[in-house]
Amino acid sequence: MKRKEIALFMTVGTGNNFNTNEEGFKIQARKLYSTINKIYPNYVVFFASDESEKTIKHIEELFKLDNDEFIPDEDYKIFQITAIDDFNSCFETIESAVWELDYEENSKKYEIIMDYTLGTKTMSAAMASCGMFYSKALISIGGDRSTGEVSAGTEIINYQNLYKIYDKFSLMRIRNNFNSNRFMQCIDILNYIVDLNIHKDSLLNLCKAYYSWDNMEFEKAYDHLTKVNTNQIEFVEIKKDIKKNLNALGNIVKSKSINLKNCYILASLINNSIRKAEEYKYDDAIARLYRSFELIAQIELTKYNIKSSDIDVSILQENNVSDEFIKDLENTKEDGKIRIGLSKDFLLLNELNNDLGKYYVENESKIKNLTQKRNNSILAHGLESQTKEDFDSFLEIVMILARKLDKDMNKFIKETRFAKYDIKLKINAI
């Protein structure tokens, strides 16, 4: 593949560190000229103040002494920086050059190398930042500094490897994506991290755990979360939350108490719906709330050894369910089984003189209105979109019933709430 032509970006100083400005300009010219000869670019871009443009004239003279030419526009271009000690001004000027040479539609694409050795400290900082931001190669000139400055003839080009900085930025992105439940994006970013000091394996297991949990794959989630070493620095601030989450998943996967297991699953589903609502996906969130609503009744019915998917009439008779209600259920029998849905689940609980069933009957009109809205959702049977108000109203009902289902439901909800990083740095919150 043909290599891109090289454009060398160079900051030009004011020459004020020397006995006279003119002598300073000449010394800088020789330094810049030496670097140009070592890199041998196709094009040079100088960032200079009005005063320091004199340096570039001396560079032209050095080319002539070598029987060569250094022609404006053809071989080089000057971007003037008027405020040499204003970081934003310097950055924007350098950035505009990057766009002109590398991003504009009709521009000639260059491999850009940035030399930030000379120029004011602000100019150098701005170029280094711009190079890091746009992933351009950064170089500085080193050599023998026994006299204070790099001695002529000893110059060495130092390419700066910024992988640690890029990996730190990647960690910031991972924390943000993790907090937004974008776990697959976290995994993709982690695959590009190269710093061996970052505990990549634990971070991968962390993201895979919550990705699996978000998809209700509890055993996978538990397996991955057990492999996270919470003593490592990346997990200090979420260590306690991970411990709670691990306890919740452990109860789902290993608990011998069916009721405890089911309550943690219910709490996970409710939290899943809340996360979707936080992403403004209200149709998705309400679909999960509807399943939570249905699950509450199913969990309560298991306490009577009743399965909604296969009603045993003899158990209903033992619990003094009315003949009329039983007859109504038997009329729905298909393939030899009686299967009932959400409404009938709660009505059956009412027949059993259960508090959840009583609450449903007392609030049946309000509940049917909410479930009808869900049925009209584009994710159910209709084409309507749901709103935050619809979600909040539905969540209120579900939480009332969930707390009636088990007195410890608030604890289950808290333990199944996903761990979140505390975004302390402003740049991290963008």
Residue 75 Cα distances to 68, 114, 131, 264, 429, angstroms: 11, 16, 22, 69, 43
Residue 345: what are its φ and ψ, rounded to 5°? -55, -50
**Token pair of 357 as six digits:** 């069933």
CB-CB contact of 140 with 131 (8 Å): no
Check pLDDT > 70 for residue 380.
no
Q: What is the rounded distance in angstroms from the CA atom of residue 345 to the CA atom of residue 343?
A: 5
Rounded to the nearest integer, the mean pLDDT of the chain is 89
pLDDT level of residue 145 (50, 70, 90 thresholds): low
Task: Work out the angle at residue 371's Cα, subtended by the Cα atoms of residues 369 and 375, and round it to the nearest 5 degrees.
Answer: 115
CB-CB contact of 361 with 348 (8 Å): no
% of the chain with per-residue pLDDT over 70: 89
Check pLDDT > 90 for residue 425.
no
Q: What is the rounded distance in angstroms from the CA atom of residue 80 to the CA atom of residue 78?
A: 6
Q: What is the pLDDT of residues 60-83, one digit of tens each?
A: 999 999 999 999 999 999 999 989
Would you kindly state where each structural domain of the chain is located, as residue ranges? Answer: 4-160, 169-416
Q: 140: part of which helix (H) or strand (E)?
A: strand 137-142
Of residues 142, 87, 136, the one with CA closest to residue 113: 136
CB atoms within 10 A of CB 211: 19
Instruction: Give bridge partners of residue 310 from the DSSP assignment.
Output: 307
By three-state DSSP, how is residue 313 classified? helix
The pLDDT, as a whole number, for residue 429 is 47
Helix axes 121-133, 87-98, angle to 10 degrees: 40
Q: What is the pLDDT of residues 232-291, one digit of tens each?
A: 999 999 999 999 999 999 999 999 999 999 999 999 999 999 999 999 999 999 999 999
What order of strands is seen across the sheet that includes strand 5-11? 76-80, 43-48, 5-11, 110-115, 137-142, 156-160
Q: What is the pLDDT of residues 331-355, one digit of tens each?
A: 888 888 999 988 899 999 999 999 9
Q: What is the pLDDT of residues 359-372, one digit of tens each?
A: 999 998 888 878 77
CB-CB contact of 212 with 228 (8 Å): no
Q: What is the pLDDT of residues 217-231, one digit of tens each?
A: 999 999 999 999 999
Q: Which residues contact 27 (CB under 8 A, 6 or more apart)?
A: 15, 18
- Dihedral sign (CA 375, 259, 213, 248): positive
The pLDDT, as a whole number, for residue 336 is 86
Check pLDDT > 50 for residue 119.
yes
Check pLDDT > 60 for residue 199.
yes
CB-CB contact of 388 with 282 (8 Å): yes
Mean pLDDT throughout 372-382?
65
Looking at domain 4-160, its CATH class is alpha beta
pLDDT level of residue 393 (50, 70, 90 thresholds): very high
Q: What is the rounded distance in angstroms from the CA atom of residue 274 to the CA atom of residue 284?
A: 10
Q: What is the rounded distance in angstroms from the CA atom of residue 192 to the CA atom of residue 189?
A: 6
Q: What is the pLDDT of residues 12-23, one digit of tens each?
A: 976 555 545 788
Find which of 114-123, 159-168, 217-226, 330-339 is predicted with most confidence, using mean pLDDT.
Answer: 217-226
3-state SS of the chain: helix, strand, coil percent to 5? 60, 10, 35
**What is the CA 81 to chain-centroid distance, rounded?**
36
DSSP alpha helices (H): ranges in 99-150? 121-133
The DSSP symbol for 116 reads -
The pLDDT, as a whole number, for residue 71 is 93
Mean pLDDT throughout 399-416?
97
The pLDDT, as a whole number, for residue 2 is 46
The pLDDT, as a whole number, for residue 7 is 94
